[in-house]
A and B are shown apart, each in its own frame.
Chain A
């Protein structure tokens, strides 16, 4: 079973101090070849989880397996196949883009051509002698990604890579991530606190809140979950009568409107027909805009 996943954690828990537990039994399962969006509000435990995956923090409880091997048993060899960008882009501001990559070239055991390859890939090959601290934010982000790509990674871990980027930068980054996944087959874990930002590029989603996993699955599964949670707002000429007619949908009255759950668009038409048949005028028939972002907010606020 473990071999299906490039990364798998089992009951991962972590606490910074005795009375404050940050992670509770996290079971991440990242399939090879997927783009896994690791979503959660700020302070939900994303960076702590990713830090544990990279051995930046000592494991307290649970286990982490990468490429089918326990991280604690073979950390150095595992990290040779992992590219990382944790929190903010980190590189040496006094060095050029090329020099920054050369700092890690031998550490990852790659040749000089690879440095040029990744610089071309992120469109930084013509930055010459310009020092990295003089780069724009977008260029800095691309340099950090170039560094993450340097080892020819099988797994790329990007923690909040869109932080501080303008809309163009976000679109560029999204394109690059898709390209890396589709053309080079790199498995990518991308964390973010904004679901809308990653839902356009991910294949799988994991939602974490207050250190607990609320959801994990494919994007389709999340859409299915969203559908189950979908609500329809109604306002009619006779709301109490309409509620009686539609009792099987568990309607809830609030002020002038009432809402009920539905599973498909066909059900909305059926509800409308039922009301019409009973001579009830429909003033409002509005599927609640329950996109993934609202679902995410619902899921997290219900527990807060």
Chain B
């Protein structure tokens, strides 16, 4: 009950913030780019004819899950934490009748709500873009072509679970540092290292490098690792949330 109340309070704070606008307009980015590509290059639509839904979603979701989602999470974790820092409201939060644990969990759940909303909006916009393409080019014949819903739902579920590791690390860093540049810079460096780790370097086993997980979910050749990645993401989330909460409680009153 207390958690629900504090979560509602967190959701209300997000109203009209750049975090909310980023979620909405960020979700529009990949569908828009995809649509632009299909409409402006001659053979882009033609290559979908064989199996339009599968090819279309494969191309779009690789871009969205592998590249855009990690960047979005780095930004959104910082923006949500900055709501309190920018408004100097930490002391007000801590002097209200809410426990530190409830505040911490509610903030994390609020972040997850935005990430989930981003994913769902992305897929919705991708559908709308596909329908628009279908209206322009009738040869696509989308209404009579097979769409593997189960695969799509499974892919999005795996994406969400694997994203928990990065989002909990970014969540902790964003609460930890008043200066928003730090979590952003660290996040971008770790994400870039993740790309190199996935495709090139083997210094750290990539199954334990969370910034590589979404790449391995989005791109082929890593299916055999998916179960391990899901398990590790949950383990890392728990570890970083526990450490993050200890740090959050310790730093209370310094905001």
Contact = CB atoms under 8 A, between A and B. Distances in A.
Interface of A: 51, 54-58, 75-77, 79-80, 82, 84, 86-88, 90-95, 99, 102-104, 106-108, 147, 151
A77 B13 CA distance: 24
A108 B253 contact: no
- List the 8 closest pairs (A to B, CB-CB), nearest first: A56-B253, A79-B97, A54-B95, A90-B92, A90-B89, A106-B5, A80-B97, A84-B95
A257 to B, nearest CB: 50
A54 to B, nearest CB: 4
A297 B94 CA distance: 34
Given A77-B97, A79-B97, A107-B6, A92 B88 contact: no
A92 B87 contact: yes
A92 B83 CA distance: 8
Given A94-B17, A102-B12, A103-B12, A108 B96 contact: yes
A95 B13 contact: yes
Contacts of B139: none
Contacts of A147: 92
B47 interface: no
Contacts of B99: 76
Residue from the set A56, A92, A99 with the largest chain B CB neighbour count within 10 Å: A92
B16 interface: yes
Contacts of B9: 103-104, 106-107
Interface string B64-75: 000000000000
Given A54-B95, A94-B16, 17 more contacts: A51-B253, A54-B94, A56-B95, A56-B252, A57-B252, A76-B98, A77-B97, A87-B88, A90-B88, A91-B87, A92-B87, A93-B87, A95-B12, A103-B13, A108-B96, A108-B97, A147-B92
A102 B15 CA distance: 12
A107 B253 contact: no
B58 interface: no
Given A90-B89, A107-B96, A57 B13 contact: no
B8 interface: yes
A76 B134 CA distance: 57
A76 B92 contact: no
A204 to B, nearest CB: 22
A108 B96 CA distance: 8
B91 interface: yes
B88 A57 contact: no
A268 B5 CA distance: 66
24 contacts: A51-B91, A76-B98, A76-B99, A79-B96, A79-B97, A84-B95, A86-B92, A86-B95, A90-B89, A90-B92, A91-B87, A91-B92, A92-B13, A94-B17, A99-B12, A99-B15, A103-B9, A103-B12, A103-B13, A106-B9, A107-B6, A107-B9, A107-B96, A108-B97
A251 to B, nearest CB: 51
A158 B12 CA distance: 25
Contacts of A86: 91-92, 95
A108 B87 CA distance: 20
Contacts, number: 74
Contacts of A82: 95
Contact of A57 (B6, B16, B86, B253): B253
B97 A76 contact: yes
A107 B98 contact: yes
Contacts of B83: 92
Contacts of B8: 106
Interface string B88-123: 110110111111000000000000000000000000
A114 to B, nearest CB: 15
Contacts of A80: 97
Interface in B211-252: 252
Residue from the set B5, B16, B99, B253 with the largest chain A CB neighbour count within 10 Å: B253
Nearest to B10: A103
A202 to B, nearest CB: 22
Nearest to B89: A90
B65 to A, nearest CB: 30
A92 B91 contact: no
A104 B94 CA distance: 12
Contacts of B87: 90-93
B96 A55 contact: no
Contacts of B92: 84, 86, 90-91, 147
B101 to A, nearest CB: 11
Contacts of B94: 54-56
Contacts of B13: 92, 95, 103
A160 B175 CA distance: 27
A56 B91 contact: yes
A107 B98 CA distance: 7
A208 to B, nearest CB: 19
A87 B90 CA distance: 12
B36 to A, nearest CB: 32
B89 A91 contact: yes
A55 B12 contact: no
Interface in B55-87: 83, 86-87
A218 to B, nearest CB: 28
